[in-house]
Amino acid sequence: MSVVPEMKQALLASVSAADNGRKIKDPATGETVGYAPQHGVRDLQNAVDLARSAQPAWADAGHETRSAALLAAADAVEAHAEELAQILSREQGKPLNGPNARFEIGACSAWLRAAAGIPLEPETLVDDGETRAEVHYRPLGIVGAIGPWNWPMMITIWQVAPALRMGNAVIVKPSEYTPLSVLALVEVLNTVLPAGLLTAVSGGRDVGEALASHPAVSKIMFTGSTATGKAIIKSSADSIKRLTLELGGNDAGIVLPDADAKAIAEGLFWGAFINTGQTCAALKRLYVHEDIYDAVCEALTEVASAMPMGVGLDENNVLGPLQNKAQYDIVERLVDEARKSGARILIGGNPDTEQPGYFYPTTLVADIDNNNPLVVEEQFGPALPIIRYKTVDEAVAMANALDVGLGASVWSPDLEQARTVAARVQAGTVWINKHGAVDPRIPFGGAKQSGYGLEFGVEGLKHLAQPQIING
Ligand code: NAD
């Protein structure tokens, strides 16, 4: 095993407060990673005061200056990339290698650069000689960014970068499971940003609630569970906050009968198992036509059996542990229920309880009913149910049967046919022959109870601004 012997301690030490902090453990080993400061509602008020004094000058600075700062922030992230990746790997559990920790840091700088580079000019709506109406995009003021533990740094950047670009100050509330990663990232960003503009308040649910209800905060960018999204709608109601809600999903993939099982197996695998299945827009229910059902099961099992899972700092591994015990318990319960119902476990399903860490093996479950809990609940872990279908109408109906609709995918070499099926699926994004591919140029957001509002691209910038019409 080629475990990196020691990580650079500088950043981690600077975000750790060993004397009074909350102990954060590596989910792969149980070892202590560091100590998170326990901020409370009083710290939040300090952050609000700082944001209030820093934001007007930042708003006045204009797009060019703000974009230059975001580019400098991207450079700073790149300069600290390996250090950040190691903190992330140890705290979140995801391996350094594969589409994991280093990939996540790369995405942070890519999204910072994209937010800096997208043009957003005022638009002329009417200019007929009598009326001239323009829409301008003004800063909102203070934005609260509340994030989850699965892609903690990348999602923080998704929230922070467009907010800063549009002239806002930002207060980040990281997940209590992964505060050190986000605090380290904020510290790196703050090496190039004006003081007070970006702060992180590392508290629990109470701090999240206080941020979502604070009268000085104009908008909440939230990524997390649908249940918390509903709570934020309620707590933000009194101050009529703007909200972007990126919530839970249970993405369906539909494999059409003409697909080539071997050719798509690796794409299906990573669509489902990226970040060990702990991804909002991962493939979580796979519908396969009966003609190629066995071939797809076989090809997926072959790919799955070749993907090493283990401690994140081991360069060989591409899959890691579940981030926390509560998530491990959900995955274990769902697979156990599927097994008891008579479903067939193709691979996995037998965790090694002697091993330290929250490792649940890569699990594929075949011959499972569409109403099984492993299909209808969000597993958010490395267990994929594979459901057989007879007609495309039946597959589309099953894909659309749930009240969430973040992403979906259709798999076929016949792109025209795939697009026709995609149009019938109720999801914010439908990918063809891939799943979960996000791109900073392309808007991303959920349908149904997977949330509302868009991130990325010019639409993402507009969601962090107050549109103002000048009519005269
Ligand atoms: P979570 O909802 O439990 O927690 C997310 C954040 O909300 C944490 O920082 C938490 O402290 C805070 N919070 C909790 N209660 C709050 C309240 N009442 N008011 C304000 N803040 C509160 O989510 P999680 O378990 O960290 O993340 C997993 C979930 O997130 C999954 O359902 C997943 O699908 C979803 N997710 C969605 C996206 C997306 O883009 N749509 C991306 C990643 C994760």
Same domain, 355 and 273: yes
Query: What is the C-alpha separation between 192 and 3, in angstroms, rounded?
Result: 33
Give the mean pLDDT of 331-349.
Answer: 98
Same domain, 430 and 454: no
All residues at 6 or more sequence positions from 149 whose CB lies less than 8 Å from its CB, including other chains = 92, 175, 177, 178, 323, 324
CATH assignment at residue 384: 3.40.309.10
Please state at what angle helix 152-165 crosses helix 41-79, rounded to 10 degrees. Answer: 100
Same domain, 46 and 72: yes
Does 255 reside within a domain?
A: yes
The pLDDT of residue 19: 60
Same domain, 212 and 277: no
DSSP letter string, 211-228:
HHH-TT--EEEEES-HHH
The atom of ligand 1 lying closest to the CA of 451 is 41
Same domain, 266 and 376: yes
Same domain, 201 and 338: no
Domain boundaries, position 166:
7-247+450-471
Same domain, 311 and 167: no
Does 444 reside within a domain?
A: no
Question: What six digits make up the tokens of 156?
Answer: 């923080």
> CA 357 → CA 233, 337, 349, distances in Å?
35, 22, 16
**Catalytic one of 280, 297, 332, 455:** 280
Ligand 1, atom 19: closest residue by C-alpha: 209
Give the tens place of pLDDT for each residue, 285-328.
999 999 999 999 999 999 999 999 999 999 999 999 999 999 99
The verdict on whether 246 is a catalytic residue reads yes
Contact 156, 174 (CB under 8 A): yes
The atom of ligand 1 lying closest to the CA of 235 is 19
Same domain, 110 and 222: yes
Question: What six digits make up the tokens of 10?
Answer: 């500088």
Ligand 1, atom 42: closest residue by C-alpha: 280
Does 144 reside within a domain?
A: yes
Q: Which of 6-15, 178-187, 218-227, 351-360 is least confident?
A: 6-15
DSSP 8-state assignment for residue 240: T
Ligand 1, atom 30: closest residue by C-alpha: 224
Q: Which amino acid is at 218?
A: S
Does 445 reside within a domain?
A: no
The verdict on whether 297 is a catalytic residue reads no
Residue in this structure with the two tokens 């952050």, named with its chain if needed: 47
pLDDT reading at 259 higher than 70: yes
Does 378 reside within a domain?
A: yes
Element (H, E) at 347: strand 344-347
Ligand 1, atom 14: closest residue by C-alpha: 205
Does 165 reside within a domain?
A: yes
The pLDDT of residue 18: 61
Question: What six digits make up the tokens of 389?
Answer: 């279908």
Contact 137, 462 (CB under 8 A): yes
The pick from 154, 173, 205, 250 for probing ligand 1's pocket by mutation, whose C-beta has the most ligand atoms within 8 angstroms, reads 205
Give the tens place of pLDDT for each residue, 427-441.
999 999 999 999 999
Count of domains forming the chain: 2
Contact 271, 470 (CB under 8 A): no
The atom of ligand 1 lying closest to the CA of 175 is 9
Q: Which amino acid is at 353?
A: T
CATH assignment at residue 174: 3.40.605.10
Same domain, 227 and 174: yes
Does 290 reside within a domain?
A: yes
> 60 by DSSP, 3-state: which?
helix
Ligand 1, atom 41: closest residue by C-alpha: 246
Does 277 reside within a domain?
A: yes
DSSP 8-state assignment for residue 413: S
Contact 41, 35 (CB under 8 A): no
The pick from 41, 280, 455 for probing ligand 1's pocket by mutation, whose C-beta has the most ligand atoms within 8 angstroms, reads 280
Contact 188, 80 (CB under 8 A): yes
Ligand 1 site residues, Cβ closer than 6 angstroms:
146-150, 155, 173, 175-176, 204-205, 208-209, 212, 223-225, 228, 231-232, 235, 246-249, 280, 378, 380, 406, 446, 451
Residue in this structure with the two tokens 């066995």, named with its chain if needed: 294
Beta pairing, strands 242-246 & 251-255: unpaired
The pick from 225, 284, 403, 455 for probing ligand 1's pocket by mutation, whose C-beta has the most ligand atoms within 8 angstroms, reads 225
The pLDDT of residue 21: 86
Query: What is the C-alpha separation between 30 and 27, in angstroms, rounded?
Result: 6
Contact 313, 86 (CB under 8 A): yes
Same domain, 213 and 284: no
pLDDT reading at 3 higher than 50: no
The pLDDT of residue 10: 61
What is the whole-number distance in angstroms between the Cα of residue 458 and the centre of ligand 1?
25
Contact 88, 103 (CB under 8 A): no
Which pTM does this prediction carry? 0.95
Same domain, 205 and 65: yes
**Catalytic one of 246, 332, 378, 455:** 246
Query: What is the C-alpha separation between 226 and 128, in angstroms, rounded?
Result: 46
Query: What is the C-alpha separation between 225 and 469, in angstroms, rounded?
Result: 35
Same domain, 459 and 377: no
Give the mean pLDDT of 107-117.
Answer: 98
Give the mean pLDDT of 120-138.
Answer: 97
